[in-house]
């Protein structure tokens, strides 16, 4: 499963928003990746996510495979919207 | 038993175990491991211990400092548990490296990567990675890490230096005093020690080298003495001294509810300097007549981003409400010099005290300044607010700052906010140029507040953080006294009042001179208020006035000191 999101947080996907996202997906069983500019990183790795340097307004792809993938996407969407980090596109 | 002499900066005596804040030696060797399974296990155990520690710190920090400041530890936990970092280290261990080396390699890889990205947020994460990897490394090497947040018994902190934010984090429930290798009477840690009312000795040069962790020490903040491993006789002598100190303090308590008058019945104002809204309680407990200086920069420090207007409004409002109508002077942001805000991305300077700081920043970064002024103006409704600008060197600076303030006042009114009207607007006199043209300023401002720490530093051209020139920190230097006189005379000619919020305002020798010069308000650390009120109650303003002309003709600071002692303090 994969979905595209637009990052709207004014500082991009840095420290605080990355931490929120990583914390939200860590409890899930399935592997989850974030792809930005053709480079994929583990979305459960705060350092991997921050090192991507995702700037505001960018489109990222989040992909996950596994039994709880559907629930994971619900959570991701919820966190992104409620914390003002991004939106589905 | 061993004695160390330093500079006494905050009164009182403490008896406690030393708590040394020095970086532990985390050096290790690169070795090839044979039992890989055991090495992986060792790595896991060390991470587990680090995690437990961090969770504890996180919880304590949340209670103590609020979720905002505690967030840093949540970030550390995420770094600690980063699956990519763990996997990378583990794969190095599997290839035969010892855990210490593997961890160090991986941490350095991330540090290099983050340092290479042109982004301040990411560069700041480097500090987190360093912190976390040090914590794990400490456990791998079996070294206990120091951690001020996990104190459970009384200690005296021993450190090379304490940054302002570190000092702000001190928990006075357990921290009974501190000792530093460097620093002087006016370093920020010294000022904070007085605010927190804990004894402190600074500038000991080598305390961190000679004091071992956990050693019993006596800290005599009144005489600048530290006794390491005292004999029982010495300990009982100091306990006696401590009792006397307490008794003297209790004697002073009678002045708490008294008005501030000189012996000949002249009213003056004795106010307190504060750094945080909580400090107001100490000023009120000491019976302060007002707040002469609220250093707002501490609202901006020890955090990742600027405080919002709302956050500032709440802080200012709480101070003004607690003061119940007593005058409260708030100084606008005074950052730069030795006070940094990493998130403002100010570049390092050759001469920070002569550089881009205080009002100079406010007048170029308008957003920050306007936000602070709006918060202040809105809060002004809840008490007796006065606003002052720091580091004013030219009249233009003051006029620009004032114009911005008035614009924001109008803006708020237009948008339906209740704002304080007729707020007194003043400046700090801390640059000689302003002191010299005080007559010109006096026509424009509502008041002056003399900041002596900087005024002395600039008048004598001696960096007050530099121990080699600390002998030039001379409050009684005739040049300083003449500048102060100039300011007071100029203000009074225009019917304006003058306060002093620098160290000198609580100095026993300086007080009779300032009284004679006609200073209207003395503002100081809460811990000095009662002593000063008692001191002034014994001095005659008229008598002091008679000596001023002669004092101003003396040639050296020492002569001034001798003269005041002989003629004014114990005539």
- Fold topology of A2-83: 3.30.1340
- Ranges of beta strands (E only) in B391-535 are 424-429, 447-450, 497-500, 521-524
Rounded distance between C-alpha atoms, residue B29 and residue B51, angstroms: 24
Say yes or no for a CB contact (<8 Å) between A22 and B110: no
Nearest chain B residue (CA) to A24: B78
Of B71, B122, B304, the CB nearest to A50: B122
Q: Which of B67, B75, B84, B90 to mutate to test the interface with A (most CBs of A within 10 A)?
A: B84
pLDDT mean for each 10 residues of chain A (89 residues)? 90 81 91 92 91 88 91 92 87
Of A23, A26, A51, the CB nearest to B113: A51
| pTM attached to this predicted model | 0.65
Interface contact A86, partner B, CB < 8 A: no
Express the helix, strand and coil content of chain B in percent, nearest 5 each.
55, 15, 30
**What pLDDT is stored for residue B401 in this prediction?**
98
- Determine contact, residues B33/B93, Cβ cutoff 8 Å: yes
Q: Which residues of B touch A46 (CB under 8 A)?
A: 75, 78-79, 82
Rounded distance between C-alpha atoms, residue B535 and residue B207, angstroms: 34
Q: Is B236 exposed, middle or buried (0-12, 13-18, 19+ CB in 10 A)?
A: exposed
**What pLDDT is stored for residue B169 in this prediction?**
61
Rounded distance between C-alpha atoms, residue A21 and residue B297, angstroms: 32
B546 dihedral zone (left: phi>0; alpha: psi -120 to 50; beta): alpha
Strand B200-202 versus strand B216-220 pairing type = unpaired
Per-residue burial over B188-215, b = 16 or more CB atoms within 10 Å of its CB, e = otherwise:
bbbbbbbbbbbbbbbbbeebbeebeeeb
Structure tokens at B194: 């007085």
Element housing B177 (H / E): strand B175-180
Q: Is B350 exposed, middle or buried (0-12, 13-18, 19+ CB in 10 A)?
A: exposed
Of B79, B83, B117, the CB nearest to A44: B83
Q: Where are the domains of chain A?
A: 2-83
Strand B225-228 versus strand B2-5 pairing type = antiparallel
Rounded distance between C-alpha atoms, residue B551 and residue B412, angstroms: 49
- Determine contact, residues A30/A66, Cβ cutoff 8 Å: yes
Rounded distance between C-alpha atoms, residue B283 and residue B329, angstroms: 13
Complex-level ipTM beyond the 0.90 threshold:
no
Span B481-518, pLDDT tens digits: 999 999 999 999 999 999 999 889 999 999 999 999 99
**What pLDDT is stored for residue B506 in this prediction?**
95
Span B163-207, pLDDT tens digits: 655 665 677 789 999 999 987 776 767 877 887 788 999 989 999
pLDDT mean for each 10 residues of chain B (571 residues)? 91 91 83 93 95 83 68 83 93 95 94 78 74 90 75 89 65 88 76 81 91 92 93 92 87 92 96 92 94 92 86 95 96 86 83 93 95 97 97 98 97 94 95 98 98 96 85 95 98 98 94 98 94 95 96 97 92 56
Rounded distance between C-alpha atoms, residue B331 and residue B347, angstroms: 23
Interface contact A46, partner B, CB < 8 A: yes
- Determine contact, residues B262/B537, Cβ cutoff 8 Å: yes
Beta-bridged to residue A33, according to DSSP, are: A42, A63
> How many angstroms away from the CA of B76 is the closest CA of chain A?
10
Rounded distance between C-alpha atoms, residue B280 and residue B388, angstroms: 18
Name the one residue in this structure whose structure tokens are 């009074």: B492
**What pLDDT is stored for residue B120 in this prediction?**
64
């Amino acid at each position: 499963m994969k979905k595209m999101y637009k990052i709207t947080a004014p500082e991009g996907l840095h420290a605080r928003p990355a931490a929120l996202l990583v914390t939200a997906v860590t409890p899930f069983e399935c592997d989850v990746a974030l792809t930005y500019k053709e480079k994929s990183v583990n979305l459960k790795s705060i350092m991997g996510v921050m090192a991507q340097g995702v700037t505001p307004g960018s489109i990222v792809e989040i992909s996950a495979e596994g039994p709880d993938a559907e629930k994971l996407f619900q959570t991701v969407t919820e966190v992104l919207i409620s914390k003002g980090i991004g939106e589905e596109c | 038993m061993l004695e160390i002499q330093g500079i006494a900066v905050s009164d009182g005596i403490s008896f406690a175990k030393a708590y040394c804040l020095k970086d532990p030696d985390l050096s290790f060797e690169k070795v090839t491991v044979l039992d890989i399974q055991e090495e992986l296990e060792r790595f896991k155990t060390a991470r587990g211990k680090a995690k437990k520690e961090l969770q504890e710190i996180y919880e304590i920090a949340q209670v103590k400092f609020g979720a905002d400041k505690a967030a840093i530890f949540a970030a550390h936990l995420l770094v600690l548990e980063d699956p990519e970092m763990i996997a990378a280290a583990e794969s190095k261990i599997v290839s035969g490296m010892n855990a210490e080396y593997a961890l160090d390699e991986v941490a350095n890889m991330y540090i290099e990567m983050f340092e290479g990205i042109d982004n301040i947020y990411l560069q700041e994460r480097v500090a987190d990675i360093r912190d976390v990897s040090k914590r794990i490394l400490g456990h791998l090497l079996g070294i206990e890490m120091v951690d001020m947040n996990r104190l459970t018994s009384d200690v005296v902190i021993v450190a090379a230096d304490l940054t302002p934010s570190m000092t702000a984090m001190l928990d006075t429930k357990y921290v009974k005093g501190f000792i530093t290798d460097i620093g002087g009477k006016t370093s920020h840690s010294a000022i904070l020690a007085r605010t927190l009312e804990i004894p402190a000795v600074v500038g000991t040069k080598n305390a961190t080298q000679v004091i071992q962790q956990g050693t019993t020490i006596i800290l005599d903040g009144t005489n600048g003495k530290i006794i390491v491993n005292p004999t029982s006789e010495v300990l009982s002598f100091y306990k006696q001294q401590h009792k006397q100190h307490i008794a003297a303090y209790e004697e002073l308590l009678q002045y708490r509810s008294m008005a501030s008058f000189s012996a000949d019945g002249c009213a003056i104002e004795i106010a307190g300097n504060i750094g945080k809204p909580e400090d107001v309680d100490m000023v009120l407990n000491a019976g302060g007549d007002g707040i002469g200086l609220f250093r707002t920069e501490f609202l901006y420090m020890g955090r990742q981003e600027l405080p919002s207007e709302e956050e500032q409004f709440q802080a200012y409002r709480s101070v003004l409400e607690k003061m119940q109508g007593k005058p409260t002077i708030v100084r606008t942001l005074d950052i730069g010099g030795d006070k940094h805000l990493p998130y403002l991305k100010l570049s390092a300077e050759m001469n920070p005290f002569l550089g881009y700081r205080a009002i100079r920043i406010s007048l170029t970064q308008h957003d920050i300044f306007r936000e602070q002024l709006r918060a202040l103006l809105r809060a002004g409704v809840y008490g007796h607010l006065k606003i002052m600008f720091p580091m004013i060197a030219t009249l233009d600076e003051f006029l620009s700052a004032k114009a911005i303030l008035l614009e924001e006042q109008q803006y708020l009114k237009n948008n339906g906010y209740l704002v304080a009207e007729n707020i007194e607007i003043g400046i700090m006199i801390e640059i000689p140029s302003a002191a010299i043209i005080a007559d010109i300023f006096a026509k424009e401002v509502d008041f002056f507040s003399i900041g002596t720490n900087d005024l002395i530093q600039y008048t004598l051209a001696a960096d007050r953080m530099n121990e080699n020139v600390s002998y030039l920190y001379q409050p009684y230097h005739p040049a300083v006294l003449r500048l102060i006189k100039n300011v007071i005379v100029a203000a009074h000619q225009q019917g304006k009042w003058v306060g002093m919020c620098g160290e000198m305002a609580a100095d026993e020798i300086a007080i009779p001179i300032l009284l004679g010069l006609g200073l209207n308000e003395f503002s100081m650390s809460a811990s000095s208020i009662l002593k000063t009120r008692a001191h002034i109650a014994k001095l005659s303003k008229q008598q002091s006035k008679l000596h001023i002309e002669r004092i101003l003709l003396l040639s050296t600071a020492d002569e001034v000191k001798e003269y005041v002692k002989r003629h004014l303090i114990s005539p």
